[in-house]
Amino acid sequence: MITIALHADNEKKTLLENFCIAYKYILEKYRLIATQATAQHIRLAAGLIVSELLAGGLGGDKQLETAIMNDEIDVLLSFERVDLDTVHESSDHNTLLRLCDFYNIPYATNIPTAECIISSLERHDLDWREELRRK
């Protein structure tokens, strides 16, 4: 089954909640995982079943990284606070994105890209990831 990792900074949790509410009918067909607080927010807001990792700062971000490296994640939706006035470099966030690039995992860092990925999932364009895993 396709696994979607959901990740959001505190300032972006509401945005991710709203996205999950809007696309619940698609997301409920897949395995969802998230760090502790994000999982709780999505469960409460959208009523989706979300496997819960540790809190991000207590190892949940590292669990996501490990899952990517072990080919256990097929898509990452990661919304991070963006501040154009200051340089905000989150090493955990950058590591997640670099790993996705290295392992060819589609990821979105904003709503329009997330909508493109969700549409691809609905059309079964990413089913090839499951086929690869079976070989």
User: What are the residue numbers of the active site?
Assistant: 61
Contacts of residue 45, Cβ cutoff 8 Å, sequence gap at least 6 = 17, 18, 20, 21
Taken in order 52, 8, 76, 92, the sign of the CA dihedral is negative
The beta-strand segments (E) located in the chain are: 3-8, 31-34, 51-52, 75-79, 107-108
Residue type, 76: L
CA dist list (Å): 27 to 72, 89, 107: 17, 29, 15
Residue type, 85: D
- For residue 108, the 8-state DSSP code is E
